[in-house]
Structure 1
Amino acid sequence: MNLGLKNKVAFVSGSSKGMGKAAAMIFAEEGARVVITGRGKEAVNKTVEEIMMSTGNTEIIGIAGDLTSKEGVQSAIRQVVDKWGTVDIAISNVYGPQAEGFETVSESEWYEAYQQQVMHVVYLTSEVIPYMKKNRWGRLININSISAKEPHRELPLVTANVVRPAVAGLQKSLAFELAPYGITVNTVLPGSIETERIKEYARSRAKIKGVSSEEVQIGSWAKIPMNRVGTPREFSSVVVFLASEPAAYVTGVSIQVDGGRVRSLF
């Protein structure tokens, strides 16, 4: 299948590692012009070199900065537009809130969680939609979490359980507004994907339960019908398909990639 991504400009936030990196790799394989972003310049540069070497695609640039701030997003998009003149695809992907229960969360941490998850999408969308509207084509995809459909119970992730559904609501609203311009807006919800983040969660749960992280991981797998965690590439393949030309009639949806873990019908 021709995904129609050759020479499309794909901005992938949080792509120096994990699921974002896997998505960037696939975009590069498909011939897109890819923007690697992350907080650490060294990690970003390393990922750019790795993807170039692996794919033979030299149309890759790296931008280091804080994409949870308005200034950080504006600066990053300005650099992309200076380089390639537009942004066709924007993937929102930032680190999630820390594990905490309601009684231990400070007021500032509530604001921080909202800033990380919701305002990042607001800032990025605001910067890229003028170019997408002009082109009458665009893809906005948010990497969220299955907690947007089914709140976490294993860990006290109260801030995540609150702000994750807010992002899904924002994306649904944007889908209504932007559909007439040929812009699709979708959310992809990872379940247990083999990243450093999930290992961190396993360590946190192990500490709470007083067991080893290996025991926690085995217990988690039992809740997944496929009885294993997913790979970053398996997850990111769905992200890249939603960014493709064949997915032009898919918008306003939240798709979980979780091995069947979420029990809801929709």
Structure 2
Amino acid sequence: MDLGITGRTALVTGGSKGIGRDVAHLLAGEGSRVAVVARTKADVDDAVASIRDQGGTAVGVLADMTDGEQVRRAVAEVREAFGPPLIVVGQTKFTVPGDFADIEDVSTYVDSFETYTVSQIHLLHAVLPAMREAGWGRFVHIGSATAKEPVGNIHHAVANATRPSTTGLLKTVSDEYARYGITVNTVAPGWIETQNAVDYLRANAGLETEEERRAWMLGNAGVPAARMGRPEEIASLIAYLCSAQAGYVTGNWIEVDGGHHRSAF
């Protein structure tokens, strides 16, 4: 399928690893000019080289997306290299595990809110004006299924408290900007087989092998698919949401979790 985004400029935050890297590759493969944005130069350089080796067009930008000044600079660098980014994939990470009783420092919750939600405010302010002027834009946030259905047994009280605020923000923005041809959606992965997730399960559940992880997914996590998802299974949906064909899909929360979410709605 031709996604109709040849020549578009795409900015992919966290594009050097995991899901973000797969998204960057898919968008480049569709003819978009991709800016890989992350904090670590070696990882960014490796991702950019990989895209170019496959015939794609890419540039690397170093930035911490939780810092408003760095966000604005990153967007300016992308604009100078390729033109304004009309496709934007946003994500940030903040991990302070623990149950509610374990975390008494309220500033931890504040830091989490700033990482998950304020970072997206900075990014939206930086990219929406050009999208509105162009009459076309795609903004996809990579969130987490726990924002809608918090999971207590993974001990992330802080994330469970602060992730939903990002979802509310993006739904509001999607309503305000849909009339300008701009879509805003959240993709919510469940258990995805990234290195971080594998390390977490090793440290907290003692799982060493894929067979052990599959059994745990079904018996403990309650994932009907009985396995972790693959990063490319998330990336493919994100690429579609960035497409010309997805112009009537906006304001949505789309879970990709192997059936983990139990509600029919």
- Could you tell me the TM-score, scaled by structure 1's length? 0.94
Question: Which stretch has the larger CA shift, 213-222 or 131-140?
Answer: 213-222
Report the AA paired with residue 260 of structure 1. G
Residues 135-214 of structure 1: pairs in structure 2 closer than 5 A? 135-206=134-205, 211-214=206-209
C-alpha separation in 2, matches of 1:238 and 1:216 = 24
- Structure 1 position 167, deviation (Å): 0.9
1:40-88 deviation digits (Å, cap 9, x = unpaired): 01110011001211x211x200011211110110110010111122111
Question: 1:218 aligns to what?
Answer: 215
Other-structure match for 1:246 = 245
**Structure 1 stretch displaced more, 26-35 or 91-100:** 91-100
Give unpaired runs (5+ residues) of structure 2: none
Partner of 1:68: 66
- The secondary structure found in structure 2 opposite 1:189 is strand
Pairs within 5 Å for 1:94-173: 94-105=92-103, 106-173=105-172
Worse-superposed segment, 81-90 or 171-180: 81-90
CA shift, 1:176, in A, is 0.6
- RMSD of Structure 2 on Structure 1 (CA): 1.4
The answer to whether the 8 Å contact 1:205/1:213 transfers is no
SS at match of 1:154: helix
Per-residue CA deviation, residues 138-176 of structure 1 (Å, 9 max, x unaligned), is 011100000012102221101111111111111110111
Q: What does residue 52 of structure 2 align with?
A: 52
1:84-126 Cα deviation digits (max 9, x unpaired): 2211111111123321221222222111111110011101000
| Secondary structure at the counterpart of residue 228 of structure 1 | coil
Partners of 2:98 and 2:40 in 1: CA distance = 26
Q: Residues 100 and 157 of structure 1 are in contact (CA less than 8 Å); yes or no, is this contact kept in structure 2?
A: yes
- Work out the CA distance in 1 between the residues paired with 2:74 and 2:178: 25
User: What's the CA shift for 1:229?
Assistant: 1.1
- Where does the alignment leave 5 or more consecutive residues of structure 1 unmatched? none
Deviation at 1:212, TM superposition (A): 4.1
Bigger mean CA deviation after superposition, 107-116 or 131-140: 107-116
Is the partner of 2:26 in helix, strand or coil? helix
Q: 2:152 is paired with a residue of what secondary structure?
A: coil
The amino acid that maps onto 1:85 is G
Distance 2:31 2:173 in 1: 28
Q: TM-score, normalised by structure 2?
A: 0.94
Aligned counterparts, 1:5-16, within 5 A = 5-16=5-16
Aligned to 2:33: 33
Structure 1 equivalent of residue 230 of structure 2: 231
- Within 1, Cα distance between the matches of 2:39 and 2:125? 21
Distance 1:67 1:239, change over 3 A: same
